Structure 1
Amino acid sequence: MMNTTHTAMGLTLAAPLVLVAPELAPVAALAGLAGGVFPDLDLLSGQHRRTLHFPVYYGVAGVAASGAALLAPTEWTVAAAFFLLSAALHCVTDAAGGGLELRPWEATDDRGVYVHPAGRWIRPRRWVRYDGAPEDLLLTAVFSIPGLLLFDGLVRALTVVGLAASVVYVAVRKRLPEVETRYLR
């Protein structure tokens, strides 16, 4: 899935706070956005979906941080909880997408996301065929609705930028492998 899909999902996790703790909703939304981005920073390491993708560890830490946020709801505890929960959701949903190959629509790679405690890769399910597929854009749009309707200011602006970037990425996605092999190697 596109990084923007993950960030929109992280934002959606924070949406209920608009009703139950509106003063904490913006920080939860921004933390959800950041947690949705964070695992993909491992693209820079050459070990994508392994170096910073920890579906189990983020999940356990997110549940613990959520408990802390329920007991002592501050901006810091809420931000930690939503960051970790969003990062966990990112990692789990990566397994719903395609593999790690340069042209994931060809479905030649069986690596979805690495599960460190098990010491193995989870195979991609390809429910979203590849990052930048039309269904990926649809998910981004649907999960962006709370950011557009429930938030204002920076959260809404980041949601609009994410949607715009998604549209552009989907439009050029299938051309990117050619650009990489022709011009970047």
Structure 2
Amino acid sequence: MMATTHVFVGLVVAATVALLEPAFALEAGIAAIVGGLFPDLDVVAAHRKTLHFPVYYSMLAVPATVLAVARPAGPTVAIAVFLLAAAAHSLSDALGGGHELRPWEGQSPRAVYSHYHGRWLEPRRWIGYDGSPGDLALASMLALPALLVFDGFVRTVVVGMLVVSIGYAALRKSVAAGTERFVE
């Protein structure tokens, strides 16, 4: 999935928080954006391995969410939403194509590394690949709650990310071809 799709998943959680407790809307929105993007910062290292923790983010998100519900405050809510978004990102990478430059070819058996299991999880290919038409459709649907609930900074980021998503989806296969030429 595109990084933007991962952010929009986190923003669904944040939109729920914002509806239930509007005082924490901005913290939840920012935490969802950062948490949704955070695992992909490993693109400069061992991508989908270094900062992707499908099990550990999930394990940490449970007590963090319980704490945020028991003691709602900006920091507790932000930490819970960040961890939920990072967990969803790491888990959902297994739903898409493999970890490869041309995932639509379906050659790689590696989707995301599970440190807990000590192995790579296989791609399910429910979303063909990052930037596929299905990924763009999913991203667009997931962005709707954030567009309806948030205003200001968060809404501006969502609109910008939708524009980036459309551009990336339109150019995805060209990006792979250009990267191959650059590497050669």
TM-score bin, normalised by smaller chain: over 0.9
Whether contact under 8 Å (2:18, 2:28) holds in the other structure is: no
Which residues of 2 match residues 100-139 of structure 1 at below 5 A?
100-139=99-138
Q: Distance in 1 between matches of 2:64 and 2:52?
A: 18
**TM-score, scaled relative to structure 1:** 0.97
Match of 1:13 in 2: 13
Per-residue CA shift, 1:26-58, capped at 9, x if unaligned?
21121011100000000011x111100001110
> Structure 1: any 5+ residue segments left out of the alignment?
none
Q: Distance in 2 between matches of 1:88 and 1:177?
A: 27
Match of 1:35 in 2: 35
Which residues of 2 match residues 5-84 of structure 1 at below 5 A?
5-45=5-45, 47-84=46-83
**2:95 aligned counterpart, secondary structure:** coil
Amino acid at match of 2:40: D
Identity of aligned residues (%): 49
Per-residue CA shift, 1:109-146, capped at 9, x if unaligned?
00011111110111000000100000000011001001
Amino acid at match of 2:65: S
Q: What is the Cα deviation at residue 184 of structure 1?
A: 4.5
Q: Distance in 1 between matches of 2:136 and 2:32?
A: 19
Higher deviation after alignment, 101-110 or 19-28? 19-28
> Structure 2: any 5+ residue segments left out of the alignment?
none
Amino acid at match of 1:110: P
Per-residue CA shift, 1:47-82, capped at 9, x if unaligned?
111100001110011111111111211100100000
Q: Distance in 2 between matches of 1:19 and 1:31?
A: 16
Q: How many residues align?
A: 184
**1:114 aligned counterpart, secondary structure:** strand
Q: What is the Cα deviation at residue 177 of structure 1?
A: 1.8
What RMSD in Å do the two structures reach over aligned CA positions? Answer: 0.9
2:143 matches 1:144: yes
Q: Distance in 2 between matches of 1:33 and 1:11?
A: 7
**TM-score, scaled relative to structure 2:** 0.97
Whether contact under 8 Å (2:99, 2:112) holds in the other structure is: no
Amino acid at match of 2:164: A
- List structure 1 runs of 4+ shifted beyond 3 angstroms: none
Between Structure 1 and Structure 2, which shows a larger proportion of helix residues?
A: 2
